[in-house]
């Protein structure tokens, strides 16, 4: 009962009213970033109509397959993908901090659904305040909001971080490391920081990290350990979202 209150009631009384939406006016540079992202996505020229415009918010650690699932799902449901790392990278170029990343992503999502299209927010919505904020804005806009979770075997997640290109945001992040592949270490650090929110240690058979039971409703849960399996689950998720 306390978890339910913390997840669905208190955020609207405390988080939304006092903390999250208290002062969200964007600076001129933040407005520039928002306009750049919207132009790149082609929001003003959307021609894809959805029978039920939907905001899909992703939940998952770095390396869990969040972006891969978001991109593949977008193709199945004609959605635009708003990537948190893209917004943060653009803010950094403008010399701005990352605090308004969430607000910018939400603004873009609401503009997309105004055009009767679907949008996927490729960012980790494990944070309660972040979920509360998008819930409130989706409610006011009268659009459907669902959370999709990605996870995988922990060793596979580490392997992906070690072998794949971390991307511009992590490659150019601040670090004392001088290694040419420092982006991988920074991404590993981010995984370690957020791991307690997503996984718990099961001390059986040598021990392993397993996904936690989350205190909020997940519309579709996708294990991305096996590519053939997870791509099929993306198709099933799309069919569940928009039955034929």
Segment 98-111, tens digit of pLDDT: 999 999 999 999 99
pLDDT at 227: 93
* pTM as predicted: 0.92
pLDDT at 49: 76
pLDDT band at 5 (very low <50, low <70, confident <90, very high): low
Mean pLDDT for the stretch of residues 234-242: 97
Cβ proximity of 169 and 52 under 8 Å = no
* CATH architecture observed for domain 2-150+216-241: 3-Layer(aba) Sandwich (3.40)
pLDDT at 8: 65
Instruction: State how far the Cα of 149 lies from the Cα of 219, in Å rounded to an integer.
Output: 8
Q: What is the dihedral of CA 92, 95, 97, 98, to 10 degrees?
A: -20
pLDDT at 142: 95
Residue 37's contacts (CB-CB under 8 Å, 6 or more residues apart) are 82, 86, 87, 90, 104, 108
pLDDT at 17: 52
| In the chain, % of residues over pLDDT 90 | 84
DSSP string, 136-165: HHHHHHT-EEEEEEEE--HHHHHHHHHHS-
The β-bridge partners of 238 are none
Q: Could you tell me the residue ranges of all domains in the chain?
A: 2-150+216-241
Segment 6-47, tens digit of pLDDT: 676 655 555 555 455 656 899 999 999 999 999 999 998 887
């Amino acid at each position: 009962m306390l978890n339910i209150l913390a997840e669905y009631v208190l955020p609207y009384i405390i988080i939304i009213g006092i903390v999250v939406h208290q002062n969200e006016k964007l600076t001129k540079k933040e407005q520039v970033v928002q306009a750049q992202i919207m132009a790149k996505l082609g929001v003003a020229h959307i021609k894809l109509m959805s029978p039920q415009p939907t905001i899909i918010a992703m939940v998952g650690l770095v390396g869990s397959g969040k972006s891969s699932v978001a991109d593949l799902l977008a193709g199945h449901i004609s959605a635009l993908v708003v990537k948190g790392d893209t917004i943060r990278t653009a803010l950094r170029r403008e010399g701005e901090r990352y605090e308004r990343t969430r607000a910018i992503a939400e603004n873009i999502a609401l503009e997309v659904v105004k055009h009767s299209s679907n949008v996927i927010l490729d960012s980790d919505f494990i944070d309660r305040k972040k979920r509360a904020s998008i819930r409130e804005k989706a409610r006011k806009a009268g659009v459907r909001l669902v959370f999709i979770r990605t996870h995988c075997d922990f060793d596979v997640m580490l392997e992906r971080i070690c072998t794949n290109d971390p991307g511009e945001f992590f490659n150019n992040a601040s670090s004392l490391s001088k290694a040419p592949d420092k982006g991988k270490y920074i991404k590993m650090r981010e995984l370690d920081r957020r791991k307690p929110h997503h996984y718990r240690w099961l001390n059986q058979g040598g021990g392993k990290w397993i996904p936690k039971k989350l205190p909020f409703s997940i519309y579709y849960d996708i294990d991305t350990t096996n590519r053939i399996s997870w791509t099929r689950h993306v198709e099933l998720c799309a069919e569940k979202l928009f039955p034929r």
